[in-house]
Structure 1
Amino acid sequence: MKIVYFIDHLRPDGTQFVLHQLVQGLNVRGHAQTVICLNDSWDELFKQKLVDGGAQVRIVGKLALASGYGWWTTLAFLRQERFDVAVTLLFASDVVGRTLAHAARIPWIVTSIQTRDEFYASWQRWLVRRTMHWADSVILNSIHVRDFAISEEGAPADRIVVIPNGISVEKYISTVPKLTLRAQLNLPTDCILLGSIGRLVPQKGFDILLQALAQLRRRDLFLCIAGVGREEQNLRAQARELGLQARVVFMGYRRDVPALMHCLDLYVHASRFEGMPIVILEAMASGCPIVATAVDGTRELIQDARDGWLVPPEDPLALANAIQSALDDPNEARRRSAAALQRVSDYFDTNKVLDAWERVFQGRVIEFHNSPSSV
């Protein structure tokens, strides 16, 4: 089968993680794959990972699209290659990719909605809805995104398939000593270390996390934040205003997530909304205790009081209380993190996820059951 993926950019974010997982896994199963990046924005190492995984990578670029040249050359390429399946990921790719795939008469068009994006402008929502009817299947990574996909993005209810994100647990086994990150960051060896990873954008709720940290008032408690984004300067200013500048470390983008997770005492995820967050899967696979907001796909991953601690979004006090509860009872934290590791191993294995995607590509649209209980 020949598969072409459209994606907005190739910076290594969560959706790109899913793309790489598909490319790598489906290459082993004998599928020929091409990735078309619409924006001329990419991480060279990530691009090379796609190539090493077996994909051809083509960069179109903003100027080429704006001039019309990129549309025509990409359309000609699609018609020449005669792909069996087109997959669109993220806003621009949904609009441009569905349009081009339809014009090229690709037999099966699949759109993947990876998050409940509440920040789309009205014109973006209009374009997404206007092109949605060309999608033969709409893959959601969380059942909690379904109503949003239907009402806001115009997804036909009878074409929706829920396939959760998956992870290879064996890749998160680490022998890195727990004090390694503290030494790298020049932190006290006996400090309690919280961590949070993600794009520094309003969706991820880092401002709420800083407010929660300020309420804990513990001098032995430090927070490391890994990620980049447009909110970084605002978050640094907030940390200073809250008197936290000595206890919050902005680490920038990190590629060593498994090692980071093994150095933390607690992983905290304060998102306002999500799809199914890859980083929660990574924390579960690493055996790191988790406190998170009870939003969207996070609720399918973490069962409160069993696999971690869940709190309402936008509630710094509840978040602070949950963090304190996790730190006050290390035995309970270990019990819940062990349960989370078992859960991710049992229900979110990469091979099961790849099986489900393959069935959709073959036109056999089925529901994916990732758990014995419906969340």
Structure 2
Amino acid sequence: MPDGHPRIFHFITRLLKGGAEAKTIATVTDLDGYEFTVGHGAEYDSEQVNRLERTGVETVCFPLVRHYNPLTALPAVLSLAQYLRREQFDIVHTHSTEAGIIGRFAAAIADIPHVVHTVHGVPFADDRHHTLNRFVLGCERRAAEHTDRIVTNADVIASDYLHRGIGSPDQYTTIYSGIQLDVFENAGPATDLPGSRPRVVMIGRLADGKGFNVLLDAAEDICDDDVSLCLVGDGPLYETLSSEVEARGLDESVFLTGYRDDIPNVLAASDVLVLPSFREGTPRVITEAMASGLPVIATDIAGIPEQVADSESGYLIPTGDPDTLADRLNELLESPDLRTTMGRRGRERAQMFSVDTMLAKLDSLYQGLLSKSATDRLTR
């Protein structure tokens, strides 16, 4: 514990530009009084690594840690355990499914004093094969045996995990993902977005599970010359979605913008946020949209109902239901007054999700674990 600062190792499967990464980076760059190191798997964005390194946070790549690759899982556990044993961290804090399982087993082998795991999104979903769901469930149950605290982004996620037999109630803590609210409240609109207003926007990594086809199905019923839909983000589905938009004849109203680093300005230039995902945690982009004064239409899953007050700050819809999505979009697009009213209520609701509150709760969690270690040493 050099300079008296506890050493904490954060471990995440992929260090890309998603919500889980944003929460992790905010923690290690903004929470004072600790020495943080961030470990990540084979997939990473060099800009994210450079951002951490510039702030003095060491990063370590573990190339054997790969997204849903069981062949490399065991050697990844052994490699990480060797590293953790050598570095002797006070706390290991894992994030996401693969890193959470591999990291907690490795921490147990290395005899790390305290282990925390954050559930950023529920990995069990209808669009995944039942065998994979059963395998992940078994791993989660075993990994929970080696975890001091399990942090969820919503109360409903903790209830879901407990119902599935993962851990015990005393292990769970809910800490909402926090953002810098004022950045979104005060942003000016981007002037270079394609299409015209009213503008519907979906922001996120272009990957499976986000419901893009559901949105494109709905778009065929709502998009015309007066409405534009922007898919903001990058990812493995970019080319597929681009071809799909053209094949459906939607290229005059649906636009793929690629990755943008000015999300506050994108939201300020938009009128409705949609997120028809099949699996999520408590998506940061929903909080960002509410802070920007946008109504939100999102699926009624995981922690989203704790963010979006149905029929007040937006609408909750079933997964895989383009007809309901189109109906709700049409209601909002046809009524600027309804958009304004819901946006105002969403901005009020967003106060629950500030980054300062998130960091204070994480600090309290860490201090509680470290105090327990100190007490245990005194009583030996």
Q: TM-score, normalised by structure 2?
A: 0.85
Label 1:327 to 1:168 Cα distance change in 2 as closer, same or farther (>3 A): same
The secondary structure found in structure 1 opposite 2:81 is helix
Q: How far apart are 1:257 and its partner, in Å? A: 0.9
- The one-letter code of the counterpart of 2:367 is Q
1:321 is aligned, of 293, 315, 327, to 327
Q: Distance in 1 between matches of 2:189 and 2:281?
A: 32
The question of 1:246 aligning with 2:257 is answered no
- The one-letter code of the counterpart of 1:142 is A
The question of 1:284 aligning with 2:284 is answered no
Aligned to 2:39: 36
- The one-letter code of the counterpart of 2:119 is I
Q: How far apart are 1:134 and its partner, in Å? A: 0.3
Aligned to 1:372: none
Q: Distance in 1 between matches of 2:17 and 2:223?
A: 34
Aligned to 1:369: none
Q: Distance in 2 between matches of 1:209 and 1:63?
A: 32
The secondary structure found in structure 1 opposite 2:360 is helix
Aligned to 2:361: 356
User: Counterparts in 2 of 1:57-76, with a 5 A limit?
Assistant: 57-62=59-64, 66=72, 74-76=80-82
Label 1:161 to 1:71 Cα distance change in 2 as closer, same or farther (>3 A): closer
Q: Distance in 1 between matches of 2:223 and 2:229?
A: 13
Aligned to 1:111: 117
Aligned to 2:167: 155
1:131 is aligned, of 121, 143, 162, to 143
The secondary structure found in structure 2 opposite 1:204 is coil
Label 1:67 to 1:90 Cα distance change in 2 as closer, same or farther (>3 A): closer
User: Counterparts in 2 of 1:65-104, with a 5 A limit?
Assistant: 66=72, 74-104=80-110
User: Counterparts in 2 of 1:291-306, with a 5 A limit?
Assistant: 291-306=297-312
In the alignment, structure 1 segments of 5+ residues that lack a partner are 366-375
The secondary structure found in structure 1 opposite 2:297 is strand
Q: How far apart are 1:212 and its partner, in Å? A: 1.0
Label 1:275 to 1:216 Cα distance change in 2 as closer, same or farther (>3 A): same
Aligned to 1:181: 192
Q: How far apart are 1:343 and its partner, in Å? A: 1.6
Aligned to 1:25: 30
- The one-letter code of the counterpart of 1:280 is I
1:168 is aligned, of 180, 197, 200, to 180
1:10-50 deviation per Cα after TM superposition (whole angstroms, max 9, x unaligned)? 11111101101111221xx211111111x232111111222
The secondary structure found in structure 1 opposite 2:145 is helix
Q: Is the 8 A contact 2:275 2:298 kept in 1?
A: yes
- The one-letter code of the counterpart of 2:348 is Q
Q: How far apart are 1:140 and its partner, in Å? A: 0.8
Q: How far apart are 1:331 and its partner, in Å? A: 2.0
1:136-155 deviation per Cα after TM superposition (whole angstroms, max 9, x unaligned)? 11111112212432344723
Q: How far apart are 1:240 and its partner, in Å? A: 3.3
Q: How far apart are 1:76 and its partner, in Å? A: 4.3
Label 1:348 to 1:234 Cα distance change in 2 as closer, same or farther (>3 A): same
Q: Is the 8 A contact 1:132 1:153 kept in 2?
A: no
Question: Does 274-283 or 128-137 show the bigger shift?
Answer: 128-137
- The one-letter code of the counterpart of 1:36 is G
Q: How far apart are 1:300 and its partner, in Å? A: 0.7
Aligned to 1:371: none
Q: How far apart are 1:89 and its partner, in Å? A: 0.8
Label 1:153 to 1:90 Cα distance change in 2 as closer, same or farther (>3 A): farther
RMSD value, Cα: 2.6
1:49 is aligned, of 31, 48, 51, to 51
Label 1:364 to 1:95 Cα distance change in 2 as closer, same or farther (>3 A): closer
Q: Is the 8 A contact 1:5 1:88 kept in 2?
A: yes
Question: Does 134-143 or 58-67 show the bigger shift?
Answer: 58-67
Label 1:70 to 1:311 Cα distance change in 2 as closer, same or farther (>3 A): closer
The question of 1:199 aligning with 2:199 is answered no
Q: Is the 8 A contact 1:224 1:249 kept in 2?
A: yes
- The one-letter code of the counterpart of 2:37 is T
Q: Distance in 2 between matches of 1:12 and 1:153?
A: 31
In the alignment, structure 2 segments of 5+ residues that lack a partner are 1-5, 371-380
Q: Is the 8 A contact 1:140 1:162 kept in 2?
A: yes
Aligned to 1:13: 18
- The one-letter code of the counterpart of 1:265 is D
Label 1:326 to 1:66 Cα distance change in 2 as closer, same or farther (>3 A): closer
Q: Is the 8 A contact 2:299 2:316 kept in 1?
A: yes
Q: How far apart are 1:199 and its partner, in Å? A: 2.1
Q: How far apart are 1:66 and its partner, in Å? A: 4.7
Q: Distance in 2 between matches of 1:350 and 1:63?
A: 29
Q: Distance in 1 between matches of 2:236 and 2:322?
A: 22
1:271 is aligned, of 274, 277, 280, to 277
Label 1:202 to 1:69 Cα distance change in 2 as closer, same or farther (>3 A): closer
Q: Distance in 2 between matches of 1:71 and 1:314?
A: 36
Q: Is the 8 A contact 1:139 1:162 kept in 2?
A: yes
Aligned to 1:368: none
Label 1:200 to 1:70 Cα distance change in 2 as closer, same or farther (>3 A): closer
Q: Is the 8 A contact 1:165 1:353 kept in 2?
A: yes
Number of aligned residue pairs: give it: 355
